Every structure is written in structure tokens, then in C-alpha cells.
Structure 1
């Protein structure tokens, strides 16, 4: 990696290099010593901007999360919630190690503020809003984690035909329903499965 020109070290440069390192080699590679090496400075130079690795990871997370486009009016309603969660899912799938770097900092607070603004703006009571927000975040993070294992399915044109074939081979006496899917198992991309789940949670939230 190119080194930082002398005197150009900054908070933003360190964070951007940490993001690149995380994406290329994983979160474990993001250390003060490794960042200093990549930036061509001594480790102590980074302590001018951060107190340690944990603070760098928190800044990395906040920097990426701050890039989400968030509605600024409750009028966006549940459609706005859907867009927010879709953006969050996309962020977590583009930066696969980010799931492990959650900070609970300013960016997280801003995300929560917007989600609750949108949910409460629909007239939803507070208990339901908290339950819906918790369900959405857990589902989104879980879906992003599964995406890392299953994204190859979307790239394999024969994936679903192979799944249906394996289902047809199941013993009918033990797995009659699963075997029946061998004839007409619906296909979902990982993105479609995620969107289906978000819509399901939001529809359930509107039930009396």
C-alpha cells in the first residue's frame, strides 16, 4: 500500500486505511502496529489521534454507518424504515467484517433515533416500536452474517436445481413435506430473502 506523505497523517486517513485493511484481511488485521506500518509512520504517531485499537474500530464503524442515507422526516413512515434497513444490510454485506466492529457510538444513536422517529410517527405505541426495531436490527445483522456464507448460491445458476434434486431423494416416509418441495421449491436470492423478512416484520407491526 502507498505510504502517507510526511505530515499528511490525519484522523480520516487512518480510518480510511483501517477500512481498507478490514475489507482486505479482516478485522483482526486492524491493529495500531499494522496501520502504522502501512501508513509509513511509527505506532506512536497514531496515538496522537486514537487511544488504541478499540477506538480506531469504533471510528471505523461510525464512519461507515454515517454514510447511510437516513430520512429526516417522520413522513417517510414504514417505507422509510424499509429503506434504512435495506441500506444497513447493504453496508454490512459490502463490509463483511463490520458486524464484529459495532461501537454503540454516535452513528448508532443517530440510526436508532431515525428508526424510532419513523416508527412512532406511524402512531405505533412505544413498546411495539421497541420490539419492531429490535426485531429488524437482529434480522438484518443475522441476514448479513448468513449472506457471507450463502452469497455463492446466487452466483451458481444450478444451485436451486441441485437443491430440488436433493429434496426429491429424501425418504418420503420421514420427510414428506420437504420431499414435496423437490418439485416446486420457490427460488430466493439472498437479497430477496432479506426483503421478504423485513416486509413480514413491518406488516406484522401493523396488525391490531
Structure 2
């Protein structure tokens, strides 16, 4: 990635470089000193735009979340919630290191505002809405965290899994061994869609017990 031309340093240029470093070398590479070196400026130049490394990481997180498109109407219902969570899942799988960059900033608040509006406008009770939103976020982060190591699973992988299951002793693992002959295959995207659908297809109008 080329250095920033002299006199063009900005919030956007710094965050673009930070994103590149995070994606290619990991979050640990995103330091003020490294950013300054890559951009061809002195470290003090970055402090004109950000007070600290932590502020850069928070802005990086918020800038990526800002790219998630949200429904324009609060009446988009549960389909709108699905749209947001799919975009969130895509973001986390494309930038896995961002999960360690922090949360709780304006980016999270923006998405939470829309998700809760969609849930409440669908007639869902407030406590249930909190439970649903929290479960979706945790499920999406968990699904994205194991995506990289499992995204390449193909027919050959599933064939090996079935073979290994058939090798299990029947008296000790009767159920698991039975899957050796009939194990449904899922892509990671299909697993994500399946889990999200299950969370949103419970009896959403039944309040959770406190």
C-alpha cells in the first residue's frame, strides 16, 4: 500500500492504513509508530488527528461498522434484523481482527438503535427484545470467530468426518456413530443462517421470565 502523498494526511487516510495493517498483519501491528512509518510522517503528525492508539482503534471499529447498511424504515421487521446481522457477520469474517479492537462506541449504538426499533415495532416485548438482540450478537461473533478455520470445509472434509464417525465404538458412542451414515452437510454461511433463523423463530411475543 503506497504512502500518503505529502500534505494529504487525514482521518480517512490513517484509518485506511490502519485497516490494511490490521487485515494483513493483525491488530498488534496497528501502532502510532508503525502507522507513521508507513505513511511517511512523524508520529506526532498522527496526534493531530487522534490522541492515542486506543482512539485510533475505536475509530477504526466505528468506521467499519458505519459501512453496514440498515433498513430505512423501522417497519422492515425481522427481515430488517436479518439484513443487519448478515452484514455484521460479513464484516467480521472479512476483518476478523476487528473483534479484538473494542466495542461500545457510536457504531454499536447506531446498530443497536435500529435493531431494537425493528424488534419493538414488530410487537416484541422489551425484555424479549433484549434477549433476542443479545443472543444474535453473541451468536454472530461466535460464528465469525471460527469462520476462517472452517470456511474451506468441502465434500472431501465431510467424507472424512463420516468415516471417522463410523470408526467410533458403537457401544460407547451409538448416536455419534449413527451420523457416519447420514451426516447433513453445512457450509459456514448455512450454519449462520440456520442459527439466526432459530433465534428469530422462537415465540417472540412470549415475554421471558425474569
Q: Which bin holds the TM-score, normalised by the shorter protein?
A: over 0.9
Number of residues of Structure 1 aligned to a counterpart in Structure 2: 206
Separation in 2, partners of 1:84, 1:18: 24
Which SS does the other structure have where 1:115 is aligned?
helix
Structure 2 SS opposite 1:182: coil
Cα shift at 1:207: 5.9
Aligned partner of 1:196 in structure 2 is: 194
Cα distance, 1:109 vs. partner?
A: 0.4
Measure, in 1, the Cα distance between the counterparts of 2:52 and 2:174: 56
The 5 Å alignment of 1:148-159 reads 148-153=148-153, 156-159=154-157
Question: After the TM superposition, which segments of 4 or more aligned residues of structure 1 sit over 2 Å from their partners?
Answer: 205-208
Question: Which stretches in structure 2 are left out of the alignment for 5+ residues?
Answer: none
The answer (yes or no) to whether the contact 2:123–2:205 under 8 Å persists in 1 is: no
1:135 is aligned to: 135
CA RMSD of aligned residues (A): 1.0
Q: Is the 8 A contact 1:132 1:205 kept in 2?
A: no
Aligned partners of 1:18 and 1:60 also within 8 Å: yes
The Cα offsets for residues 101-137 of structure 1, whole Å up to 9 and x where unpaired, read as 1331111100000000000011111000000000000
Instruction: Output the CA distance in 2 between the equivalents of 1:7 and 1:142.
Output: 42
2:100 aligns with 100
Contact 1:58–1:103 under 8 Å retained in 2: yes
Taking a change above 3 Å as real, the CA distance of residues 159 and 34 of structure 1, as seen in their structure-2 partners, is same
Q: After TM superposition, list the pairs within 5 Å mapping 1:76-95 onto structure 2.
A: 76-95=76-95
Q: TM-score, normalised by structure 2?
A: 0.95
